[in-house]
Amino acid sequence: MMDNKTFIIAGIIVALLIGVVAVFMASGDPDGLESTALVVQGQKQLTGATPPDVEIKEDMTGKFSYTAPMPDYSLGESMGTMGGSIAIIGGTILAFLVVLGLACAIKFAVKPAK
């Protein structure tokens, strides 16, 4: 039977492998949520392709705007898929550390009574 440490390490390795492979299979098209936001903002038609005379602007004046640290899972156009792989590896490790920190905080806060 596998101990907890081996199980966690195996899980991290599997997550990193899936993340790195996903970079090469990802589509550049907007996902469902992004597409819906473009339709609501009037920048895209509900059916068919976006007309060639309509320019899609991701940041509109007066609207909520947020720039992710690694937008679209990349480190910029110049890094290409290698930047995407690095971004996913960094994001996976960061997510693991956040969850590990929360688990330790909960364990510390909820000590069993002796």
**Based on the structure, what is the number of domains in the chain?**
1
pLDDT band at 18 (very low <50, low <70, confident <90, very high): confident
* Domain range enclosing 85: 76-114
Q: What is the pTM of this model?
A: 0.53
Structure token digits, residue 62: 């007066």
Helix axis angle, 80-109 to 4-25, nearest 10°: 150
Q: Residue 61: left if φ>0, alpha if ψ -120 to 50, beta else—which one? A: beta
Give 41-79 pLDDT, tens digit per residue.
777 766 655 555 555 555 555 565 667 666 666 676 777
Which pLDDT value is given to residue 101? 92
pLDDT, average across residues 80-103: 85
- With respect to residue 97, please indicate whether it lies within any of the assigned structural domains: yes
- With respect to residue 93, please indicate whether it lies within any of the assigned structural domains: yes
pLDDT higher than threshold 70 for residue 6: yes
pLDDT higher than threshold 80 for residue 89: yes
| DSSP category for residue 2 | -
Contact 50/56 with Cβ under 8 angstroms?
Answer: yes
